[in-house]
Structure 1
């Protein structure tokens, strides 16, 4: 069976918070934040882009790459800005259940925002942002930036994100989640302590999520052959 290419780690840097207190009240040592700079790092114009659900740093749209046109490449909107893409807690690049022993079961957007604020101020020496730009869950983090640190960013630019998760969205998310956490190899979240990966749970999660992630038209056009290296539908929907 074809394998899936692991996420790129090119250019990713890490900053470790010696101690971090989560919104739940739990305090943990050595919470790592993954990030990468794009665009023009020497620019005084700073943009933060937190990752969204399912995204990694190097798959996040940064608005810094030249845009191809019939008349040649055109500069991107943020090519002259310093764009920092920071991985949200729990995404597998920053501190997550898969990388951090006894990682808190309850994670809050406020945790992600406060961790990224520490990255910017304590490590990168940034005291002000031109904007926080986010897509989906990244957009929801942008809303929280405006609430928690209202003077830190001149603007927030939420893209395809709600200020509050709707009851319907909650219900949808709980379905695939139940498929994962009730699997035998998930072991009530203690899978890493047992030295295993919850592959059965992850496959069940992917099977439950696949029809939500893509549209009916996507399936009718058999577009699964254009993703994940052209794998067949049976393999794709089990991811």
Structure 2
């Protein structure tokens, strides 16, 4: 009796693929760029802080990876379309640019509301649309990883607008996945909990807050960018070829409580 052939494990490598990472000057975006480059992708790091971008790109290039910096304000939709057309097409997008302004719901200002919606929602849509158009035109498929948040699933104090924008990004992820599947383009989201980044540095410097949040997390600790990097590689790679429209929680078990 002839034994059935063993299945082949899909690759986590991204050799020869071009990737765009927005918000890549620090935090999760910078870590995503490192992870993609180490997996073999050629990475374009985009953000407004050009000096930080250049530093990251030069550090990657110095160890033999292909990376370069792109100064880009993702809230400028015309600039986004022009930059993606000039730099693309891309096979991978990590749609990461975003921010948070913590304010009680009854005290949210018009300026804060507009800033969060413009960056977390409008800009994320514009970047995703521009990159997807290039992917469709190239006809080679692709992978989009939207960087959402645990607040795309649960609410948090003083985060009403942020929570709303991340719920919107979860909706974008599902809708884009359905529409783009026919083109071989997969769209998924990652949803980190509290991660040690420049964005959370201020609030996590409050030792009482840090201790309280750590106790709420089943794993018992605040996450690091390294905890997020593997998930990005997985969703961008052939190892996740059957996954689209999904939302991967990276929250230390918080949403399981």
Q: TM-score, normalized by length of structure 1?
A: 0.32
Question: Which has a greater percent of strand?
Answer: 1
Bigger relative contact order, structure 1 or 2, given CA contacts below 8 A and separation 6+?
2
Q: TM-score, normalized by length of structure 2?
A: 0.30
